[in-house]
Structure 1
Amino acid sequence: MSLKVQVGLYGRHAHGGEVITYDPHGVHNTHLDGLAHIGADGGWHGPVPAAASETDEDTIVNWAQHGIATRGVLLDVTAARGVDWIPAEEPVTGADLDAALAATGVTLEPGDALIVYQGRDRYEAAGNVYPSGAAAVRRPGIGQDGARWLAAQDLGLVLWDFHDARDNPGGRLEVHGLIYSIGLALIDNCLLGPAVSTLKDAGISTGLLVAAPPAIHRSTGVLVNPLLLY
């Protein structure tokens, strides 16, 4: 993110403004991916032609008109595995997600926000660097089997700390591919450790997940600050 501040002094009056430039994707900023972020065969989910992004594709504006408010269900995959973080060599599977969900005692309902904690804060605190999705390398995250599990649920959106593990021969982004195939909304790079600790102390695994994406015309993604209220 870059910030250009402009200050004007006019006698006793001062005026400040700025122009902000940011990358609404990658592995650093917490952001909501639009349906025009990942596509196939020359188009986005819908199907919508990819060329529409140059004119009138407005996933983010449409979402911004009503915002996001739904039940959030927090899954601690690290606790289900008994590890500090998910290693790159053993990506999250459907069995892992089943075990983490069973530990909550919650039944998923259509439209729920699934919040998947994989230990990224501990991973980075130990000095590890999480690689960018632009590099076709295996990394910690949800693998192909876990992506199939997500696709079988009727979720409103998924929030996570680690992304796709890329544990397939083609190095594809398993979960991000669901943006195109089923219209899945993703909020990437969430700081989930504090939520895990707080909800554990409260003895619960759910809360009200809210997020208010800004209405930026033709955007493929936007920065957001999701909140889990309980």
Structure 2
Amino acid sequence: MAEQHSMEDLLRDAPSNWGKWGDEDELGSLNYLTPAEVLRGVQHIRSGNVFTLQRLIGDPKGDPVWPGRSPAQRTMIFDESTWDSDDAPAFPGGLHYADDKIEAFLQGSTQYDALGHVWYAGKIWNGYDARTTIGGLDKASVAPIAERGVVGRGVLLDLARFRGRENLDKGETFDHNDLEACAKSQGIEIEKHDVLLIRTNFLKLFFDQGEQFYEGFNEPGLTYSPELVRWFQDREIPNLVTDTIANEVTYEPETGIALPLHCALMRNLGVALTEICDLEKLAASCAEDGQYTFLYAAAPLKVHRATGSPVNPLAIK
């Protein structure tokens, strides 16, 4: 029988930022994004070109979501046909209108994770008891991130182009050394407090393959090592943004543990995770003009006690 590994054993000696910003902190490494960091990001605006990074909700070709989640469902409530009925709403002057609603997983599109979204050993970010998640997140929900907003210098690390590929493959891994090498190849350096945007273009396979995409589901991405986690801590990275569904390789190759970086980076260091971004137009622009740094700005929706929230991040070059 294969040896069983636990998250607690894997991360027993992992670095932690618990208490760094006080016992009541719910923002984690986003605290690094001070007003000075906002101004540092502004300095990287050259042309004023704006790129929106959210994937379309209700894409006719389908919406990629984590296995087990269902895509958003938009339902029309009122449209012109409503007024074919004799009991339709009547407004002075003859106003007609359209109205619709959406039913969706809050993490079923481009979104921010709350810092309390994942945990192990009964503790979420900053040492809060995991039972504070029952019925909704009383601590470290997405609301404090949404209230604050996220603004700083963004850096695109185009791993797919760096490896000379259209997209990375299932289970393909890279680490902080690859990120550094990619940055160097793009003529930039990763600096303290940078928001890191990593392009794999893996979700191209979702649109190419349809449901076959989910067979043997194992995304490409960063893979756990103590050195990688220390790299994130030493560089005080506030936010990791990717174009994959879960920010990291799904199963850690050495142990088979699922999503250890969600725990090592988000639960332990307080790094905000942003997922399912569409980086294609931004990446094409960066490849064309050689400018891989920009002002990054994002504000997830303010949803009380939520585990995450949709977002449409901006990259302003």
In the superposition, the TM-score normalised over structure 1's length comes to 0.84
Q: Which has the higher strand share?
A: 1
State whether residues 116 and 141 of structure 2, in contact with CA within 8 Å, keep that contact through their aligned partners in structure 1. yes
Give me the CA root mean square deviation.
2.6
d(CA) in 1 for partners of 2:77, 2:163? 51
1:101-120 equivalences under 5 Å are 101-120=183-202
Percent identity between the two aligned chains? 24
Structure 2 counterpart SS, 1:57: coil
1:142 shift after superposition? 2.0
Provide, for residues 124-183 of structure 1, a one-character-per-residue CA deviation record: whole Å limited to 9, x for no partner.
454375549xx8x54322222495354553111011113321223133203322211111
Task: Identify the residue that residue 175 of structure 1 maps to in structure 2.
Answer: 261
The size of the alignment, in residue pairs, is: 225
Task: Identify the residue that residue 132 of structure 2 maps to in structure 1.
Answer: 52
Structure 1 counterpart SS, 2:312: coil
State whether residues 209 and 228 of structure 1, in contact with CA within 8 Å, keep that contact through their aligned partners in structure 2. yes
Cα 1:84/1:207, change in 2 over 3 Å: same
d(CA) in 2 for partners of 1:209, 1:66? 14
Comparing 3-12 and 104-113, the one that deviates more = 3-12
Structure 2, unaligned stretches of length 5 or more? 1-71, 79-87
Cα 1:50/1:41, change in 2 over 3 Å: same
Structure 2 counterpart SS, 1:210: strand
State whether residues 207 and 228 of structure 1, in contact with CA within 8 Å, keep that contact through their aligned partners in structure 2. yes
1:17 shift after superposition? 4.5
Structure 1 counterpart SS, 2:287: helix
State whether residues 2 and 22 of structure 1, in contact with CA within 8 Å, keep that contact through their aligned partners in structure 2. yes
Larger radius of gyration: 2
Report the residue type matching 1:227 in the other structure.
L
Report the residue type matching 1:47 in the other structure.
G
Comparing 74-83 and 17-26, the one that deviates more = 17-26
1:83 shift after superposition? 2.2
Structure 1 counterpart SS, 2:198: strand
State whether residues 120 and 161 of structure 1, in contact with CA within 8 Å, keep that contact through their aligned partners in structure 2. yes
Structure 2 counterpart SS, 1:43: coil
Comparing 38-47 and 142-151, the one that deviates more = 142-151
In the superposition, the TM-score normalised over structure 2's length comes to 0.63
d(CA) in 1 for partners of 2:261, 2:188? 23
Report the residue type matching 2:74 in the other structure.
L
Task: Identify the residue that residue 160 of structure 1 maps to in structure 2.
Answer: 242
Report the residue type matching 1:193 in the other structure.
E
Structure 1, unaligned stretches of length 5 or more? none
1:52 shift after superposition? 2.1
Comparing 175-184 and 115-124, the one that deviates more = 115-124
1:15 shift after superposition? 6.2
1:93-108 equivalences under 5 Å are 93-108=175-190
1:24 aligns with 2:83: no
